[in-house]
Amino acid sequence: MDHHLPVLVVVTALVGAPLCILVRQPRVVWGLFTAITWSIAAMAVTLLLQVLSEGPVRYALGGWPPPLGIELRVDVLGGFVLTIVSGMAAVVAPYSLRSVEQEVDAARVHQFYAVLLLALTGLLGLTATGDIFNAFVFLEISSLATYVLVSLGRDRRALVSAFRYLVMGTVGGTFFLIGIGFLYVQTGTLNMLDLAAILPQWIDTRTSAVAFAFLTVGLSLKLALFPLHLWLPGAYSYAPSVVSAFLAATATKVAAYLMLRVFFTVFGQAVAFGELPVAATLPAVGLFGALAMSLVAVFQTNLKRLLAYSSIAQIGYIVTAASLGTQAGLTAGIGHLFNHAMMKGALFLAVGCIAYRIGSVRLEEIRGLGRRMPWTAAAIFVGGASLVGMPLTAGFISKWHLVSAILAEGQWGLVALILTSSLLAVAYVWRIVGFLYLRDAPSGAAPVREAPLSMLAPTWALVLANVWFGLDTRGSLGVATQAALGLLGGQP
């Protein structure tokens, strides 16, 4: 059964979605969702270990050999991202029981979990596939499911945000599809490895350059790279807490993964960084975005919105690191992909705990919560420290490698931008911490209890992961190094 793992990872989630619809009973559906996400996570880890020891795994769907048929191909990077996505789903599952009961209509709970599983299917499939058109299909599956998830938020503004996300996301998806169309016209194949073999001889044509541009811009929209980020703050702010946490930790990461695939697997490092001006443009765009979005985050009054802007800034870091085109940069980018999933997952889950108890995530409403919800507040404190990049946390490792990768290129200006935006991160995290610990509770505030254990435990699991991967980087950067090597064509 082992060689079926690449497809089983995806299909288990796909089969789970209709089962949720048929079962209907909210508690049973939740149990099913938990069982499915945990088993997928177990499979993804097995797959990653298998890939680490034996090299990339290929799987011909329907028994049709590639490039004729669709192929799934999982290398170290793919296995790593599969593990991040399925791991986040597994962590969110126990948390979702209470949170979803409170935030989503009882009559819609089974649909909520079904759509969440469809989103998971899309994200996993997109990561596992070795066919670029198939990647588009999975990208759209996950996006369509995500629009629905965002619109299920309690706030009426969730609908507007979902619609805005729908419009921008569709534009991004269409750009990506147009890019694929150009590639297909030029090469006659859609298999990524096949493309990589054929494309170099056609790289001087305008068609290939246009294809590259469309793919890059389309994916930048999907991963909310500044200035194409406008859909993200609303979508993360008004979605149900579980969805915010899950999306923040996975959706943009997977889009970033796809961008790496296009840059390094399809076009190849030599083309993307030799013939095309990626290294000259994207790092600066990414870092300017990081700076601008950190600045915007400082002035937010809604905690979720603040974290959303911070997410856009972090995406800027990931894109910057990856588009340096060096092995060090790539390692830093992939490592930050993982570390950022840990920190934003932890922070959004903690904020979800606050939303669960006091029904609001506005900064003035969380005054003095540090004493009334000590565990949640402490989770935000540690998660925030990791976001800033304090030593002993995962965030520090990310920043350290990012800065050294840029220094290796001798780009002092970019380093200055990173340090400035890190200072801004200190400012907005300090603002949250100040409201939590240093202000008195609003007079006449209703007594608040600590969040239930089923929500605290997943939150703290991620918080502790932040500390763990700040001390022991074998699981994060060790794998990221192998993934980077694999992308650059060395032995994975």
Partner 1 sequence: MTDHVVLRVIGKLLIPFILAYGLYVQAHGDFGPGGGFQAGVIVAAGLILYGLIHGVAATQRVVPPRLVEALAAVGVLIYAGVGVVTLVLGGNFLGYGALDHSPSHGQHTGVFLVELGVGVAVASVMLAIFYAFASRKPIASGGGRR
Q: Which residues would be at the binding site for partner 1 (CB under 8 A)?
A: 4, 7-8, 11, 14-15, 17-19, 21-22, 59-63, 105-108, 111, 114, 154, 156
User: Closer CB to partner 1, residue 67 or residue 325?
Assistant: 67
All residues at 6 or more sequence positions from 47 whose CB lies less than 8 Å from its CB, including other chains: 5, 6, 9, 57, 74, 79, 82
Q: How far is the CB of 281 from partner 1 (least distance, A)?
A: 40
- Among the residues of 188-302, which ranges form H helices? 192-198, 206-222, 232-238, 241-260, 269-270, 278-298
User: Closer CB to partner 1, residue 62 or residue 410?
Assistant: 62
Q: How far is the CB of 242 from partner 1 (least distance, A)?
A: 18
User: Closer CB to partner 1, residue 31 or residue 200?
Assistant: 31
Q: How far is the CB of 7 from partner 1 (least distance, A)?
A: 4
DSSP helix/strand/coil, 446: coil
Q: Is-contact 414 320, C-beta < 8 A?
A: yes
Q: How far is the CB of 158 from partner 1 (least distance, A)?
A: 9
User: Closer CB to partner 1, residue 96 or residue 111?
Assistant: 111
Q: How far is the CB of 339 from partner 1 (least distance, A)?
A: 33
Q: Is-contact 161 235, C-beta < 8 A?
A: yes
Q: How far is the CB of 430 from partner 1 (least distance, A)?
A: 35
Q: How far is the CB of 140 from partner 1 (least distance, A)?
A: 16
User: Closer CB to partner 1, residue 107 or residue 446?
Assistant: 107
User: Closer CB to partner 1, residue 110 or residue 222?
Assistant: 110
Q: Is-contact 480 334, C-beta < 8 A?
A: yes
Q: Is-contact 71 130, C-beta < 8 A?
A: yes
Q: How far is the CB of 142 from partner 1 (least distance, A)?
A: 16
Q: Is-contact 482 76, C-beta < 8 A?
A: yes
User: Closer CB to partner 1, residue 86 or residue 466?
Assistant: 86
User: Closer CB to partner 1, residue 127 or residue 294?
Assistant: 127
User: Closer CB to partner 1, residue 356 or residue 460?
Assistant: 356
User: Closer CB to partner 1, residue 59 or residue 136?
Assistant: 59
User: Closer CB to partner 1, residue 58 or residue 362?
Assistant: 58
Q: How far is the CB of 24 from partner 1 (least distance, A)?
A: 9
Q: Is-contact 421 314, C-beta < 8 A?
A: no
Q: How far is the CB of 353 from partner 1 (least distance, A)?
A: 21
Q: How far is the CB of 144 from partner 1 (least distance, A)?
A: 12
Q: How far is the CB of 64 from partner 1 (least distance, A)?
A: 8
User: Closer CB to partner 1, residue 8 or residue 315?
Assistant: 8
